[in-house]
Structure 1
Amino acid sequence: EFVDLCRKNGINVPIIPGLKPITSSKQMISLPKIFHIDLPEDLSEAVAKCKSEKEVREVGIEHMIAQCKDLIKIGAPVLHFYTMSNPGPTRKIAEAIF
């Protein structure tokens, strides 16, 4: 939807998605405040069911793998990951999608 809106308004440069895997329950509160974003409802619900931070990390990684596959399928020119000095989750995601 965002890409279509840009194209309709004459923005024709490549649009690169910036991706931050959720790796802790605290990020469910802090990321929306810092970046003015809405988190997907299904992700929020899945994280709410987690019984440990390890489970939250795995849910975040699995969600990001699915999102990346969808972005690749619809033609994202490249994926940009924000690792925040924690490359482990991004490595797992990259191994799953490439």
Structure 2
Amino acid sequence: MKYGPDDQVERDTPDAPFEQLTAILRARLERGDWRINRAIPSENTLAGEYGLSRPTVRRALSVLAMEGYVYTVAGRGTFVANREPKAPTDPPD
């Protein structure tokens, strides 16, 4: 399923809650809800907003960090990464 930036996590779908949250937050990041190098809401805030546990939020943020959307600074929070647009790859010669 595709999730948009304004969606909520639903319990009656085949997708795991962390997968839904990952897709929702990815859509929010791509829409520009938060500025580059600025903190996104805390794990506690996101957990409350989406009705999830902190470990579920942490798992979603971990996926987004692996994808290069965010980065974490210990003791400071999670921040929006500066993602360069990907150039199309040329076919090999």
The alignment's TM-score, normalised by the length of structure 2, stands at: 0.38
Q: Which has the higher contact order (CA 8 A, sep 6+)?
A: 1
Higher strand share: 2
With normalisation by structure 1, the TM-score equals 0.36
| Structure number with higher helix proportion | 1
